[in-house]
Structure 1
Amino acid sequence: MIEAFIFDMDGILIDSMHLHAQAWKNAFMEVGINIDERDIFALEGENDSGIIKRVMSMNKNDSLDMESILTTVTARKHQLFDRDNVALFDGVNDILRQINGKFRLAVVSGSDRKIVEMMMEQYFPGIFEVIVSGDDTENGKPAPDPYNKAVEMLGINKENCMVVENAILGVESAKNAGIFTVSIPTYLTRKELEHADIVLHDHKELFRLIELLMRMIIGN
Structure 2
Amino acid sequence: MFKGIIFDSDGVLVNSMPYHAKAWVDVFAEFGIDVTEEEIYEIEGSNHVGVINIFFEKAGRTPEPDMYDAILEKKRAHFMENNRAEVFEGMYECLRSLKGKFKLAVASGADRTIVTSLMDRFYPDIFDAIISGEDVQNGKPDPEPYNRAVEKLGLKKKDCLVVENAPLGVESAKNAGMYCVGIPTYLDGSELQEADIVLKDHSELIVYLSDLMRIDR
Q: Distance in 1 between matches of 2:116 and 2:208?
A: 27
Asked whether 1:63 is paired with 2:75, we answer no
Superposed, 1:11-90 pairs within 5 Å as: 11-59=11-59, 61-65=60-64, 67-68=66-67, 70-81=69-80, 85-90=84-89
Identity of aligned residues (%): 45
Q: Name the counterpart of 1:154.
A: 153
* Superposed CA offset, 1:81-130 (max 9, x none): 35551111111111000111011100000011111111121111110011
Q: Distance in 2 between matches of 1:93 and 1:66?
A: 39
Name the TM-score, length of structure 1 as normaliser: 0.93
Deviation at 1:40, TM superposition (A): 0.4
Q: Name the counterpart of 2:174.
A: 175
* Partner AA of 1:62 in structure 2: R
Contact map agreement 2:49 2:68 (CA 8 A) in 1: no
Asked whether 1:8 is paired with 2:21, we answer no
Q: Name the counterpart of 2:193.
A: 194
Deviation at 1:179, TM superposition (A): 0.5
Q: Give the gaps of 5 or more residues in structure 2.
A: none
* Partner AA of 2:13 in structure 1: L
Q: Distance in 1 between matches of 2:63 and 2:82?
A: 29
Asked whether 1:203 is paired with 2:202, we answer yes
* Superposed CA offset, 1:159-185 (max 9, x none): 111000001110110000000001111
Deviation at 1:73, TM superposition (A): 4.4
* Superposed CA offset, 1:177-204 (max 9, x none): 0000011110001111111111111001
Two-structure CA RMSD over aligned residues (Å): 1.5
Name the TM-score, length of structure 2 as normaliser: 0.95
Q: Distance in 2 between matches of 1:81 and 1:63?
A: 27
* Superposed CA offset, 1:120-174 (max 9, x none): 2111111001100000010000000010000011111111110000011101100
Change (3 A) 1:142 1:216: same
* Partner AA of 2:32 in structure 1: G
Deviates more, 1:26-35 or 1:180-189: 26-35
Q: Name the counterpart of 1:137.
A: 136
